[in-house]
Amino acid sequence: MNKKLSVQQAFDLAKERYAAVGVDVEQALKHIQQLSISLHCWQTDDVVGFESAGNQGGSGIQATGNYPGRARNIGEVQADIEEVLTHIGGTHRFNLHAIYGDFGGKVVDRNQILPEHFTGWMEWAKEHNLKIDFNSSSFGHAKSGNLTLANPDKDIRDFWIEHTKRSRAISEAIGKFQEDPCIMNLWIHDGAKDLTVNRYKYRQILEQSLDEIFATPYKNMKDCIESKLFGIALESYTVGSHDFYMGYGVKNQKIITLDTGHFHLTESVADKISSLLLFTPEIMLHVSRPVRWDSDHVVTLNEEIIELAREIVRADALNKVHVGLDFFDASINRIGAYVIGVRATQKAFLQAFLEPLETLRAYEANEQHFERLALLEEAKSLPWNAVWDYFCLKNDVEIGEDFIPAIQQYEKNITSKR
């Protein structure tokens, strides 16, 4: 069987089928082609980074698994990402954490980082047609402890304020270089393992720290703030809760980052889109897959992700939502993890672009609720997969599971030798 031909034929039939429910497939293809996903650097190396003193582990974050082939230096991260890019269609972004700087073998503490530590990354990204996003890193350091920006100890707090200010200056330099705003995310793990009687105090300190950090206005970067439900070993209290950052973001017009692993498991992240967009300028997504908790499993095409994509499309908010990934599974082939996660996210958005929205809305306007539910249900099994295959074909990336042997080959030649 000629695969290309059958993909083309299936696509032609799908196009007709979609047209019958009022969906313009070509338009959907245009949208999915333009959907830029920010590939997080940290799945390559299990969130360790390249500081000379080493990531001091423990505090704030944890990857589990010890699958061989972790990237051990910047060159290996770049090679792995270049490999990932050969298996995904579209033009994407790259999301760097501050601990991935090129420190030239020197000990550069977090309050000393400079744009020059990231010029190599900027040049590499330009070469590969990627735009860079950035993150301050407050975990995995001797001063991380339980409290960073919310620490009552002024020395520790100032250290992290300085780190975060520098991260913004680096983001600004990146944004200027790439002539496209660098989206900088701020996430801190601050919290308490056990009961605290100072909830208000720590949040008040965090608010003051943020005010200080954000005092300098920039043109080429955008700030996002990411909440969390709880951190491991900090189960009783999280300073930067969703309420905290939502309040701060609305008051100060900052972008809220929604990490799909940072909410109660039955809470709908999709439902937050339309509310936040009314009161904050934009949204950053950390698409992740929580299994029982914020486990950061590889994103798969599940109902939560599809609904999230649908809500963004239904709100006509593509130009206000930045889509990034956030998972780190150290127990499987890491390149494969990326490819699965990116492709799943693209498939979710493609399904959203193919939703027969006009007809559904007409039903709703007429209070035809049976008809609305029926079409929503039928839409699930419309031939979106034929459109997906066609997208892969057009982008010259593997169709269906054909990327498996290609990734096995890279493992055999490259990662298994590390």
Site for Zn ion in 319-378 (CB under 5 A): 326
Q: How far is the CB of 248 from ligand RNT (least distance, A)?
A: 17
Task: Mark 60-79 with x for binding to ligand RNT (rule: CB under 6 A) and - for no binding.
Answer: -x------------------
Q: How far is the CB of 327 from Zn ion (least distance, A)?
A: 9
Q: For strand 237-238 and strand 191-192, is the pairing parallel, antiparallel, or unpaired?
A: antiparallel
One-letter-per-residue 3-state SS of 210-265: HHHHCCCCCCCEEEEEECCCCECCECCEECCCHHHHHHHHHHHCCEEEEECCCCCC
Q: Angle, nearest 10°, between helix axes 3-20 and 384-394? A: 130
The three-state secondary structure class of 24 is coil
String of DSSP letters for 265-322: TTS-SHHHHHHHHHHSS-EEEEE-EEESEEEEEPP---HHHHHHHHHHHHTT-GGGEE
Q: How far apart are CA 396 and CA 372, in angstroms?
A: 37
Task: Mark 274-313 with x for binding to Zn ion (rule: CB under 5 A) and - for no binding.
Answer: ------------x---------------------------
Q: How far is the CB of 73 from Zn ion (least distance, A)?
A: 24
User: Which of 45, 172, 190, 226 touches ligand RNT (CB under 6 A)?
Assistant: 226
With binding defined as CB under 6 A, does residue 92 bind ligand RNT? no
User: Which of 46, 311, 326, 355 touches ligand RNT (CB under 6 A)?
Assistant: 326
With binding defined as CB under 6 A, does residue 389 bind ligand RNT? no
In the residue annotation, 296 being an active-site residue is answered as yes
List 311, 326, 329, 355, catalytic entry: 326
With binding defined as CB under 6 A, does residue 322 bind ligand RNT? no
Q: How far apart are CA 378 and CA 64, in angstroms?
A: 39
In the residue annotation, 294 being an active-site residue is answered as yes
Q: How far is the CB of 259 from ligand RNT (least distance, A)?
A: 4
Question: Total residues at the site for ligand RNT (CB under 6 A)?
Answer: 12
Q: How many CB atoms lie within 10 A of CB 150?
A: 26
- For residue 141, the 8-state DSSP code is S
Residue 64 vs 216, nearer CB to Zn ion: 64
Residue 154's H or E segment, with its range, is helix 154-178
Residues that bind ligand RNT (CB under 6 A): 42, 47, 61, 97, 135, 187, 226, 228, 259, 286, 294, 326
Annotated active-site positions, please? 187, 226, 228, 259, 262, 286, 294, 296, 326
